[in-house]
Amino acid sequence: MIKIDSDKGLVTVEDENGLQSHAIGTPEAFSIISKAWLRSGWDTKYVYSFSWLGRPIIQLPEDMFRIQEVIFQIQPDVMIETGVAHGGSLIFYAGLFKAMGKGRVIGIDIEIRPHNRKAIEEHPLFDAITLIEGSAIAPHIVKTVKAQIQPDEKVIVMLDSNHTKAHVLAELEAYAGLVSVGSYIVAADGIMGDLVGAPRSEADWSWNNPKAAAEAFVKSRPDFVIEDPPLPFNEGQITERVSYWPGAWLRRISK
């Protein structure tokens, strides 16, 4: 139960300790409201209402704004993204690279539908994009991607295709070796673990999700840690991200 009393400036929530009230202007209240907003946004398909430079993007704007900060900080030469869909995120990343004067994006999908391929290939930013069709974990696809990366290039990876724990774990194992020290591999949509019982969810999402895959991966990989990137600017009280990607950021700390 959550009650928001705007007249009194209070947010009240019922948890295992009973009723807890917080001033609406506190980080605690912000966290409660944000989690409710994320759930409401899932139920209403909020992320299906955005596009970037003409292509549907199907991402939470907060997540895209945050990854923009990371891309600018890291200045990668290559971004690998598994999962293409309509191509909006590929266009977003390609635009960032154009603005920075360096970089390109490789998009991989098991099926790139003809109308989406046509729209992406005709987009003004397509010269910074390479499309590869096939399963991201198929050995010949992984080999094709690796062949396009030069030894001295800085790489960041975004995993946003099949979100089962097994598939994401296989993607992590396939592409983590390409991630540069100090850069990240991002396992999107770990919010699935918090959505069991919601519309369009499955009962096994409590364990069968990208966040669980990331946690399993780092147990055997001391060269990676799960760590949110530092905020480059923050004059407010909030340090917790509002995100569909909780526990997603795996930073490479060593070879």
d(CA 241, CA 222): 25
Q: Tokens for 37?
A: 């907003």
In the chain, how many domains are there? Answer: 2
Amino acid at 227: E
Tens digits of per-residue pLDDT, 197-227? 999 999 999 999 999 999 999 999 999 999 9
3-state secondary structure (DSSP) of residue 10: strand
Tens digits of per-residue pLDDT, 138-163? 999 999 999 999 999 999 999 999 99
Residue 98 sits in the same domain as residue 187: yes
Residue 110 sits in the same domain as residue 8: no
CATH classification at residue 70: 3.40.50.150
**What domain range is 34 assigned to?**
2-43
Average pLDDT of the residues in 189-193? 97
Which residue's entry shows tokens 């097994």?
A: 166
Beta bridge partners of 129: 105
Residue 154 sits in the same domain as residue 35: no
Q: Note whether 208 and 167 are within 8 A (CB).
A: no
- Vertex 162 angle, CA 129 and 116, to 5°: 40
d(CA 57, CA 73): 22
Residue 6 sits in the same domain as residue 87: no
Is residue 8's pLDDT more than 90?
yes
3-state secondary structure (DSSP) of residue 28: helix
pLDDT band at 15 (very low <50, low <70, confident <90, very high): confident
3-state secondary structure (DSSP) of residue 52: strand
Is residue 1's pLDDT more than 90?
no
3-state secondary structure (DSSP) of residue 7: coil
Residue 205: how many CB atoms within 10 A of its CB?
Answer: 20
Torsion region of 200: left, alpha or beta (phi above 0 gives left; psi -120 to 50 gives alpha) = left
Residue 35 sits in the same domain as residue 161: no
Tens digits of per-residue pLDDT, 223-245? 999 999 999 999 999 999 999 99
Residue 37 sits in the same domain as residue 66: no
- pTM to 2 decimal places: 0.96
